[in-house]
Amino acid sequence: MRIIFTPLALHDMFISRLIIFIAILFLPFPTIGQLNIDSLKANLSESTADSNTVKTLNRLAWNLRSIDPTLAMGYALRSAKLATEINFDRGRGDAYNSIGVLHYRRGEYVEATKSHLLALSIREKIGDREGMALSYINLGNVYSDQLNNQAAIDNYLLAAKLLTETGGQSRLSFVYLNIGAVFLAEDKFEEAIPYCEKAKTVAINNKDTVVESEAWNNMGVAYEGMQRFDDALIAYKKSFTLSTAIGDQTEMTDNMTNIGNMYRQKKEFSTALEWHFRSENLSRKIAYLEGLRVLYQDISKDYEAMGDFKMALLYHKHYKILSDSLFNEENSTAINSLNDKWKSDRNAKDLLVKQKELSESKFSDREGEQRLWVITTGGIILLLFSGYAYFASSRLKRSQLIIEAQQEEILRMKNR
């Protein structure tokens, strides 16, 4: 069955922030509690410029992605540069994946697509199938935000296929999360809940707080869509508690936006605005443009529900300005062009590989023919030489017999 989803229905109808998984290949997935940033920095200062330094830079970039995105980007760029210098392709793929994630979180979709396609190319080259699956998930996220529904689904399905083939069952929780997001975007709330539950269960078993938090948030979106506002508020607050514990400031802003929406539904407008202004402050701090875009429309709805139409119009204008800057035909064209170019380059590389294989095959055939000619010619020469040797030996024996007969005849004549 062909699935088509429309995130616009989610962002613009009831405006809650849907969270989709942003993937990077680390085993296990590190959280702020699992890897101490100060310790990583200390290791970095003591290490030399080798593959371990690249890995440390990548871990720092990932752990700082929500706390300090600017610093995280600096580490990711350093990692990509060093990995290129020492020809460490796996580390370079992870570095560009981090760069793509950071661009995506800032709403820089064209740059995110460039980085994720580059990471995917590197991972294809070295046969890193799990890394390829996670790159496909991240590309699906970009297309989902750009409302390119079919491209998003295609990438998620490619990820699921690779994860199934490689036995990455635990990582299927990420795909469950995103498939649930697809149903939510189609307003199929009851169908979405089982996938959110699956993602949450696998995450708890893997002690993956990040995915668990995101699953709770998306369950809240489903409950909200079903008008079960109390259940939605509980789910959002559970997600907020988890995201706060791990220090994921991007997800915290999404949670606070959603919690504020529930208080508006409960007609507790002052509390709704309190949560929304907290979300705005944090979004500005971490330069989370997509979060701000959605939040401005939420605040506009808060004021509209309160009867303050002047403020409602002001925030709606803010929402419109950001929407026009993030989602426009120029961005969509650029992203599609990058994707087409990447596919074209890959096809060209495949053609070169096939031509090389064909050329090597022809060379091998010619080499085989030459070898056969040499063997055959050598055999003929050897046969001729053997024949001549046999002929010469026969003549020599015949001459010796004649000489012996002549000597005997001379001896008889002497005796006579």
The model's pLDDT over 83-135, given as tens digits with 9 standing for 90+, comes to 999 999 999 999 999 999 999 988 889 999 999 999 999 999 999 999 999 99
pLDDT at 360 over 50: yes
What is d(CA 27, CA 166) in angstroms, rounded to the nearest whole number? Answer: 15
Chain-centroid distance, C-alpha 1? 25
Residue identified by tokens 């370079």 is 92
Rounded to 5 degrees, what are φ and ψ at 307?
Answer: 90, 10
Residue 6 has pLDDT above 50, yes or no: no
Q: H or E segment at 401?
A: helix 329-415
Q: From CA 51, how far away is CA 416, in angstroms rounded?
A: 106
State whether residue 22 is helix, strand or coil: coil
Closest CA to 169 of 218, 141, 124, 133: 133
**Dist. CA 7–CA 255, nearest whole Å:** 18
Question: CA 262 to CA 302: how far, in whole Å?
Answer: 11
What's residue 26's pLDDT?
39
pLDDT of 239 above 50 = yes
Note the pTM of the prediction, 2 decimals. Answer: 0.55
What are the angstrom distances between the C-alpha of 146 and each of 57, 112, 331?
30, 12, 9
Give the whole-angstrom CA distance, residue 337 versus residue 322: 23
Q: With contact defined as beta carbons under 8 Å apart, do 121 and 346 qualify?
A: yes
ω into 194 cis (within 30 of 0): no
Task: Measure the CA–CA gap between 113 and 125, rounded to whole angstroms.
Answer: 18
* Residue 27 predicted with pLDDT over 80: no
Q: Which residues contact 58 (CB under 8 A, 6 or more apart)?
A: 26, 75, 76, 79, 91, 94, 95, 98
Q: What is the pLDDT of residue 182?
A: 78
Query: Could you report the per-residue pLDDT of 245-294, keeping only the tens digit for each?
Result: 999 999 999 999 999 999 999 999 999 999 999 999 999 999 898 889 99
Tokens of 165: 């083939």
| 398-401-403 Cα angle (round to 5) | 110
Q: What is the mean pLDDT of residues 381-396?
A: 65
pLDDT at 13: 35
